[in-house]
Amino acid sequence: MAQRLHLVFGGELVSPSKNVFRDVKDIDIVGMFPDYDSAFLAWKGAAQRTVDDAHVRYYIAHIHRLRDEAQPASPTEELGA
């Protein structure tokens, strides 16, 4: 079974209506999680801590969707092998 990694991250946006971070150096990396349920709990905790700041948003990135093991490796992956 493939591992289903999820990254939880967030930070201050330039505007509540845009998904553009004010300063990418200040992005809060909450962590990497092995399943959606644990990622969701981490996301919820981070989002609730910042609920009073309309410019702060947290996201869950489905890292497992970036790699499809059935597809051939990219040239950069082959170099690392």
Residues 26, 10, 76, 69: what is their CA dihedral angle, to the nearest 10 degrees? 170
Query: For residue 70, what pLDDT is reported?
Result: 66
Sequence-distant (6+) residues with CB within 8 A of 69 are 2
Q: Are 8 and 58 in contact (CB under 8 A)?
A: yes
- Helix ranges (H only) for 1-81 are 36-49, 75-80
Q: Are 55 and 15 in contact (CB under 8 A)?
A: yes
Confidence of residue 72 (pLDDT cuts 50, 70, 90): low
pTM above 0.85, yes or no: no
